[in-house]
Chains A and B, each alone.
Chain A
Amino acid sequence: MGRKIEKLLIEFARIHRFMMSFLREAVSPPYEFKEIVRQCYEIGWKSFPLISLTGFIVGFVFTKQSRPSLEDFGATSWLPNLISIAIVRALAPLVTALIASGKVGSQIGAELSSMNVTEQIDAMEVSGTNPTKFLISTRIIATTTMIPVLCFYVAGIGLFGGYLSIATKDDLSILAFFTQVFESIAAKDVFAMVLRAVVFGFTIGFASTYVGYYSSKGTEGVGKAANAAVVSSMFLVFIEELLIVQLLSLIG
């Protein structure tokens, strides 16, 4: 028992050191702009096909499933209002984060872990290069900036999926749909979405780089790191979602 507590405390200390090291390297020059752009491309642009499909399906299915409940009250005209609030406030950031945890988290975890196994990280260190600056900061900055961008895109494509779902039953123009959508979204909803996306983006980047960087040696370590990156990212995203909901309801 005592040994487990000791291991846990050592792990917390290591996480703290990793966080401090990231913060120090992220703000201090020289900056790795080229690598940040490359990571944004890898994380953002290469996720577009998967994110597009998922966002569209979530919007379409959510709208289809919500229709019967509103139909009972003859309130199907409120569908655009309902789905816009649901998608912008909760679904878009959550869906984006979960997809990114799977795709981006596993990619970062496996990449850093295999670099660790093949001594590429050691090679960087001994050549006088700071691996935290080049490998860690760039990836965390890229996820923190790209997840919000992807989140806006998922919201847009999800709403479009919702519109198509409505249009299969009702005679509603796309202009009328989006007019209703924008009327029902308040600034605080957009703020809630951006807040979630930034927090989730940072979490995915931090958790996956951490498990990849400190992975155990050997090929088994690479698999474990990829798996741990996904599991820990998703777990933390759900915990944060719970906390953010509480926080936002307190703010109003």
Chain B
Amino acid sequence: MEKKKVNINRDDVVIHVDNISKSFGDLHILRDVDLKLYNGENLVVLGRSGTGKSVLIKLISGLLKPDKGDIHVLGEIVNQLDERELRDLRQRIGFSFQNSALYDSMTVRENLEFPLVRNKRNLTRAEIDKEVEEVLEGVGLSQAINQMPSELSGGQRKRIGIARTLILRPDIMLYDEPTAGLDPLTCLDINSLINQVQEQYQTSSIIITHDLSCAKMVGDRMVMLLDGKFERQGTFEEIFNTDDERVKPFYDYNFID
């Protein structure tokens, strides 16, 4: 399935990861990492498990703090914000978790209402219902509104997780392994949904993945994290047109003849 051409404004940087490093004890995960996300683009971050891809988006959303460097998001320096300022900024950032992270004691409706009623307290009941129904329809799961998360399949949970972030109409979407653990057809559905979100909501997104089919289908640009640094960037072809032994097996495993 071909990705539609989208408008990317390369003069407008929405995220600038400026020379950051992050370690956990003696383990150096990210070293002097530099990255820019432009307005309207889908940027795919590739890399092996444990290379710090998820750490990167947790740093961007302020869940972790860098040891060194700054993270600029929508004009704010995330690592310098206080709790209240960070909460305000986070309303403009959607985060889709690898395991969906749905609140398992709440129904789908309550999951979707949760961020809405807490961030937009002046909404009426009718307005909340309208928003919930609209966003659920957008991800094609209107019928699941009264179900519990435990009653949903992996793909449905992913969709609801994405819907829950979309309900606040974010400017930026961060996807952590959106296709992990899903069958190929559901992966295609999720990839289409990511593209649909980009077009419909005009979001700029970072997609963390090691699924090259997903990367190829949703990415406008790609970067590859190797040994704690972004060593390769460009289009899919530019990334994999190399003899680098650290990159080749990645491609061979995903697209074996």
Task: Give the B-binding residues of A (Cβ under 8 A).
Answer: 30, 115, 118-120, 122-130, 134
Whether, in the assembled complex, B3 has its beta carbon less than 8 Å from a beta carbon of chain A, the answer is no
Instruction: Decide: A118 and B99 in contact? CB cutoff 8 A.
Output: yes
**Complex interface: chain B residues within 8 A of A124 (CB):** 114
In addition to A122-B97, A128-B118, A129-B114, 16 A-B residue pairs with Cβ atoms within 8 Å of each other are: A119-B98, A120-B103, A122-B63, A123-B95, A123-B97, A123-B164, A126-B61, A126-B62, A127-B95, A127-B119, A127-B164, A127-B168, A128-B88, A128-B91, A128-B119, A128-B168
Residue of B nearest to A38 (CB): B105
CB 8 Å contact bits of B89-130 with A (1 = contact, 0 = none): 011010101110111100000000011001101000000000
A119-B119 in contact (CB<8A): no
CB pair B90–A128 under 8 Å, yes or no, is yes
Complex: A126 Cα to B92 Cα, angstroms: 10
Chain B residues proximal to chain A, CB less than 8 Å: 58, 61-63, 83, 87-88, 90-91, 93, 95, 97-99, 101-104, 114-115, 118-119, 121, 164-165, 168
What are 12 A-B pairs at a CB distance below 8 A? A118-B101, A119-B99, A120-B102, A122-B63, A123-B95, A123-B102, A125-B90, A126-B95, A127-B115, A127-B118, A127-B119, A128-B115
Which residues from B are CB-within-8-Å of A118? 99, 101, 104
**A118-B104, A120-B104, A122-B63 are known contacts. Are A130 and B97 too (CB-CB below 8 A)?**
no
Instruction: Kindly state the separation between the CA atoms of A127 and B102 in the bound complex, as whole angstroms.
Output: 12
Partner of B90, one of A115, A119, A127, A134: A127
Given the interface contacts A122-B63, A123-B95, does A129 sit within 8 Å of B101 by beta carbon? no
Cβ A127 vs Cβ B114 within 8 A: yes
